[in-house]
Amino acid sequence: MITYLKILIFLLFAIALALPLWTSRTVESQSATEAPTGFDTLTNDATFVSQATHDADRDTFEERDDVTKGLGPVYNAQSCAECHQNPVSGGISQISELRAGHNDNFGNFVPATLTINDGGGLPGITIANRSLINQRATCPGVVTDVTTHAIIYNHPNEQAQERVPGAETVRTRRMTTNLIGLGFVESISNTTLQNIPNGQPTGMKGQLTAVPVAEANGALRVGRFGWKDQDASLLTFSGGAYLNEMGITNKFNLAEITTLCDDVPDNTPCTAHPNVICGEDKDEDIDTFARFMRATKAPSRDAALAATASAQAGATLFHQIGCDICHISSLTTAPPGTLINGGAFTVPNALGNKIIHPYSDFLLHDVGTGDGIAQVNDPNTGQLDQSMKNKMRTAPLWGIRTRNELMHDGGNYTRNESILRHANEANGVINNYRNLSTTQKNQLIDFLNSL
């Protein structure tokens, strides 16, 4: 009797131990639901970010910064929305950036070195080891008060405009990418992305990057943002873009690209966090940018076109010829409560366990369109990973109907041309496309135009 009692107690104890584990697994395996979609400027979940907060965040995203707020000295745009605004703020656009460099004697890419302020006998200032060539500058220029016309900043004789030197022979444009729905992409687990190559055929397996998360010092995460997968978190992306595209220093990027014509201090504390130096971004706008992107809905489809027989036949062909090997149609985000970005962000209910349809694997591939720019450092050596210089991230196709300049460099203007430009890893798929009838090709393009 005592023996049976001991066995019963042991079984009950084992069940008690297992119960929390079973409950946890049940929560994690709850059915995923479709992510909300739409170009309607509405928040993806008012319990995550209220509509009033989302509208205010959009205002900050659209705000045009000037020299008094730290713009420049070299920059590409005065607001985030200048480059991300089609059909709504956060979308793609016709705006591109310029990158350049050269190959050394071993064929390794070396970012450009250029000189500014070198006209008219002025002393030149070197900007070294930087592939991004900013297309705008704040000087020469005189900034005056709008009411009194009193001079605030006075740089009439200095020249900050960057120009591509003749020796930097590797050159490319990079089209602005879509930011709508990126909160869901950020919430995809590393494991999900790491497993994708296992299901791709030999010769078409995507390459992953491991990139730093600025808000979690020392942490690395699988990259997913940018044409080279150079960012993994939206806050890291926002900080880098604020400096590189607008010239505004922030808590993650306190050093100016050049100090020429720089009149705003870079050692200003954050207004809300006085113990943290925020540079020229004292209001921590980069946090607002990240919150804005996280609260956007995923891009919606053209429902009328998607419902046509032609587009539906095209969707079948897209799968049959192998386009979705890389342009994956559906991915599911991590469960709510999952810690990501080195523990700096917790996936909320609004973004967790959501099915999205980005038509991308968010991995790097060589499909013959690589721009020759090495941009991501090998975490083991700290040097540029040259194996990636001719690879590009699979372009997410959601929202592509809102763009008429295609591919990473905007060099193609029809869907047919951009498809036929694919090569190398995509040779088999493109040969399948070539073998389609004209009607079938048009069906596939109708499908693409519905995205």
The whole-number average pLDDT for the span 224-233 is 98
* 356-388 residue pLDDT tens: 999 999 999 999 999 999 999 999 999 999 999
pLDDT at position 436 is 98
Q: DSSP string spanning 32-91?
A: PEEPPB-SS---S-TTTS-HHHHHHHHHHHHPPP-GGGT--SEES-SSHHHHSBSSSBTS
- In the predicted model, is pLDDT for residue 131 greater than 80? yes
The whole-number average pLDDT for the span 412-425 is 98
pLDDT at position 109 is 98
- In the predicted model, is pLDDT for residue 3 greater than 50? no
Check: CB of residue 251 under 8 Å from CB of residue 277: yes
Beta-bridged to residue 99, according to DSSP, are 132, 172
* 324-364 residue pLDDT tens: 999 999 999 999 999 999 999 999 999 999 999 999 999 99
- In the predicted model, is pLDDT for residue 98 greater than 50? yes
- In the predicted model, is pLDDT for residue 303 greater than 90? yes
Check: CB of residue 175 under 8 Å from CB of residue 92: yes
Confidence of residue 26 (pLDDT cuts 50, 70, 90): very low
Chain mean pLDDT for the chain:
93
pLDDT at position 196 is 98
- In the predicted model, is pLDDT for residue 2 greater than 60? no
pTM metric for this prediction: 0.92
Any idea where the domains of the chain sit in the sequence?
Answer: 51-449
Euclidean distance between CA atoms 421 and 161, whole angstroms:
34
- In the predicted model, is pLDDT for residue 20 greater than 70? no
SS3 content of the chain, % helix, strand, coil (to 5): 30, 15, 50
Confidence of residue 30 (pLDDT cuts 50, 70, 90): low
Largest CA distance in the chain: 103
* 62-89 residue pLDDT tens: 999 999 999 999 999 999 999 999 999 9
> What is residue 403's DSSP assignment?
-
- In the predicted model, is pLDDT for residue 19 greater than 60? no
Confidence of residue 118 (pLDDT cuts 50, 70, 90): confident
Confidence of residue 119 (pLDDT cuts 50, 70, 90): confident
Note if the bond before 265 is cis, omega within 30 degrees.
no
The whole-number average pLDDT for the span 206-221 is 97
Confidence of residue 146 (pLDDT cuts 50, 70, 90): confident
pLDDT at position 381 is 95
Euclidean distance between CA atoms 326 and 72, whole angstroms:
38
The whole-number average pLDDT for the span 234-241 is 98
| Percent of the chain's residues with pLDDT above 90 | 90
pLDDT at position 123 is 80
Q: How far is CA 93 from the centre of its chain?
A: 14
pLDDT at position 18 is 33
Beta-bridged to residue 355, according to DSSP, are 34, 332
